Amino acid sequence: MKFAFFKGCKIPYYLEQYGSSTRAVLKTFGVRLLELDFCCCGYPNRDLHFESFVLSAARNMALAEKKNLDILTPCKCCYGSLKHAFHFLHENERLRRDINAELAKEGLVWKGKSTVKHLLTVLCDDIGLPAIYASIVKPLGGLSVAAHYGCHALRPSNIVHFDDPLAPSIFEDLISATGAKPVGWPRRLDCCGNPLWGKNNAISLALMRTKIADAYESGADCICTACTYCQLQFDAIQSSVKTDNAASPELPSILYTQLLGLSMGLPERLLGIKRNIIPVEKLKIV
């Protein structure tokens, strides 16, 4: 199995461990990842200028198409952005024509032949749960994990086709495979707040804190994410606004690839465990 690995903009500087742990985990399943000359997925610019968002996303898909590869991205915002652009290009002929005219200047064309997949889908469907169960050498028994779904992979379901938008289960299934126990929590499908970070920090933090409190009350030891932005929100940003308020406890957040990697017995260094700002050591799984 081989994919074009779409890391997105934030992993190289802000969340290296997501890139390295994804590579480490997928390597053991024989998945090869190829990094192309990708640009931004277009998501941050969709707020300001529709056409630039579509061109950015289309360029990335066209690059993968040229190599005859499907795209794998570990980031849910990149995933949503690419899927949306795919949808718009597919349904709007005039848009497709104009974007392709722009792409042609660098010898690219978007035909819609490359599929965009999120990391969790590749793990669950392409590699398959049986193979994942078989790879576990250190089951993480006793750990209660709150699966945070991430909005942009889940909704709108008619465009992203990720899982059932109202009752998804893919993330819990994957967490169960590691031996950890996924907890049920009412706010699992809510937004992490990161899209508003830097734009309206009060609301961004309110959204984050509501979720953390909910996960905590539901008995979770940690939150588990499979999205660059969600992880940044629950790790770097949560720790940067740390308060000593006992009512709003700090809850560590772990990337799914780190969780899976640990249960597969992969070396900590590759998983970048120490790079997490809120230490996950106290979970006693490392």
Partner 1 sequence: MERTLLGSTFLFTFLFVSLGICLAGIIFRIARWFAVDTGPEAGFIPVKKRVSAVLKGTAAALFSLKFLKIFKVLFFDLLLQSRILKTSLSRWIMHFSIFFGFMMLLLMHALDEIITKRLFPGYFPTLDPFQFLRNLFGVMVIVGVGIAVYRRLRYRGPMLITRYTDRYAVALLAVIIVSGFLEESSKMISESSFNRMMSGYFSACEPHDETALKAFWSREYGSVFPTMKFRITPELLARGKKLSEESCASCHADTRTAFISYPAAGFMKPFALSLSKSRAEVWLYYIHVLACFIGLAYLPFSKFFHLITDPLTLLVNGISDKKKVNPLTAMPRRAMELDACTECGTCSRYCSVAPVFRMLQNTEILPMHKLRTVKRLASGKDMDSAELQIISEGAFICTTCFKCTEVCPAGINLQDQWLASRELLSETGHPLPHVWLKKFNASEWSDRMRYFEASWKEADAGKERYYNLTDDSNVFAPCIQCQTCTNVCPVVAARTDPKDAVDITPHKIMNLLRLGLHDLALGSRMVWDCTTCYQCQENCPQGIKVTDIIYELKNRAYEHFKKIDRTAEINEDPC
Summary count for the chain: helices (H), strands (E): 15, 8
**Token pair in block for residue 112:** 């819609």
| Closer residue to partner 1 in complex, CB, 10/117 | 10
Strands 222-225 and 253-255: parallel
Compare residues 137 and 202 and give the one whose CB is closer to partner 1: 202
CB of 191 to partner 1, least distance (A): 4
Q: Please state the closest distance from residue 163 (CB atom) to partner 1, in A.
A: 12
Q: How far apart are the first and last CA of the chain?
A: 29
| 158: helix, strand or coil | helix
Q: What is d(CA 213, CA 204) in angstroms, rounded to the nearest whole number?
A: 14
Peptide bond connecting 156 to the previous residue in cis, omega within 30 degrees of 0 = yes
The residue type of 267 is: P
CB of 21 to partner 1, least distance (A): 18
Nearer to partner 1, 137 or 240 (CB): 240
Q: How far is the CB of 104 from partner 1 (least distance, A)?
A: 12
- Least separation in angstroms between residue 213's CB and partner 1 is 12
Phi, psi of 97 (to 5 degrees): -60, -45
Q: Measured from the CB atom, is 23 or 59 closer to partner 1?
A: 59
Find where tokens 């461990």 sit: 17
Can you give the length of the chain in residues?
A: 286
CB nearer to partner 1: pick between 96 and 135? 96
**CB 238 to partner 1: min, Å:** 16
How many C-beta atoms lie closer than 10 Å to residue 170's C-beta? 22
- DSSP secondary structure string for all residues of 163-186: S-SSS--HHHHHHHHTT-EEPP-T
The distance of Cα 38 from the centroid of its chain, to the nearest Å, equals 17
Nearer to partner 1, 186 or 265 (CB): 186
Q: Which residues contact partner 1 (rule: CB under 8 A)?
A: 9-10, 12-13, 37-40, 42, 44-52, 55-56, 59, 88, 92, 94-95, 102, 151-152, 154-157, 165-166, 190-191, 193, 195-196, 198-200, 202-203, 206-207, 210
Show the tokens assigned to 160. 């992203």
59 close to 114: Cβ distance less than 8 angstroms: no
Nearer to partner 1, 48 or 137 (CB): 48
Least distance in Å: CB of 275 to partner 1? 11
